[in-house]
Amino acid sequence: MNLVFLGPPGSGKGTQAIRVAKAMSLAHISTGDLLREAVKNKTELGKKVEDIMKKGQLVPDEIVISLIGQKISAIEKAKGFILDGFPRNLPQAESLKFMFDHKKMKLDKALLLQVSDSEVVKRLSGRWHCSKCNSGYNYPRNMPKHEGVCDKDGEPLLRRADDEESVVRNRLEVYKRETSPVEKFYRKESILKEIEGEQIPDKVFQDILTAVK
């Protein structure tokens, strides 16, 4: 089964994508993670995209389309995957369709996690992660035992550079302008499933599993 996860920043799609991928034995492909990794490792690609990501803008289509193409080709067809953070605009959705047609594969469902703007800003301003093991924390729901350090390894917690409030507002604007048309694209193809993303994470997870059955 091949799935796409859509939703504004902070909708929980990354967390849910990892959980669903594990439960269904699917590969998890996150363009955001791949790009952040490149920035961290200071690769040529990382240097090209760092400033764009800091501002909360989309990196050029040819970069992410090529990244996704390489990843999809590397996964066995039988396994199936979840795309998290891709496609982000109509040209990317059309390229993905072209890639699937070419490989005689199909996209089974696109899951849209619905979360309001005010909830997004609230969630992202409280989002922290461990600088070493990447464990995530959310204030006030899931706080570390000791302020500013990871429960697992005691390393300092960091925030993503693009989780600062003005950047979050920009990312929301970009989502509405660029990514909302992708929702319509998949609704027209009759594969869009809408999920209420403001429920407790376990209920969101269950709703996703029901939607993909």
Site map (CB under 6 A) of ligand AMP, residues 166-185, x = contact: -----x--------------
Of the candidates 19, 36, 123, 171, the residue annotated as catalytic is 171
The residues pairing with 115 across neighbouring beta strands, listed in sequence order, are none
The one catalytic residue among 36, 88, 109, 123: 88
User: Are 22 and 11 a contacting pair, CB within 8 Å?
Assistant: no
Q: What is the DSSP string of 93-137?
A: HHHHHHHHHHTT----EEEEEE--HHHHHHHHHTEEEETTT--EE
Residues 128-157 that bind ligand AMP (CB under 6 A): none
* Beta carbon of residue 154, minimum distance to ligand AMP (angstroms, whole number): 26
Residues 22 to 51: which contact ligand AMP by CB under 6 A?
A: 31-32, 35
Q: Is 4 helix (H, G, I), strand (E, B) or coil?
A: strand
Task: Tell me, yes or no, if 88 is annotated catalytic.
Answer: yes
- The one catalytic residue in 160, 169, 187, 193 is 160
Find the shortest distance in angstroms from Cβ 145 to ligand AMP. 27
Q: What's the distance, CA 119 to chain centroid?
A: 17
Interstrand relation of 109-114 and 27-30 (parallel, antiparallel or unpaired): unpaired
Least separation in angstroms between CB 13 and ligand AMP: 8
13 is annotated as an active-site residue: yes
Q: Residue 35: which residues within 8 A CB-CB, separation 6 or more?
A: 45, 46, 49, 53, 59, 64, 67
The nearer residue to ligand AMP, 19 or 171, going by C-beta atoms, is: 171
**Interacting span for ligand AMP (CB under 6 A) from 58-66, 125-133, 139-147, 199-207:** 58-66
What is the smallest separation between the CB atom of 30 and ligand AMP, expressed in angstroms? 6
Catalytic-role residue among 127, 132, 169, 193 = 127
Token pair, residue 126, equals 């409280």
Q: What is the DSSP letter of 155?
A: P
Using the rule CB under 6 A, is 58 a contact of ligand AMP? yes
Residue 104 Cα distances to 15, 72, 77, 98, 99, angstroms: 29, 13, 10, 10, 9
Within residues 68-127, the interface with ligand AMP by CB under 6 A covers 85-86, 88, 92
Dist. CA 184–CA 3, nearest whole Å = 16
Catalytic residues, by residue number, are: 13, 88, 127, 160, 171
* Contact residues for ligand AMP, defined by CB under 6 A: 9, 31-32, 35, 52-53, 56-59, 64, 85-86, 88, 92, 162, 171
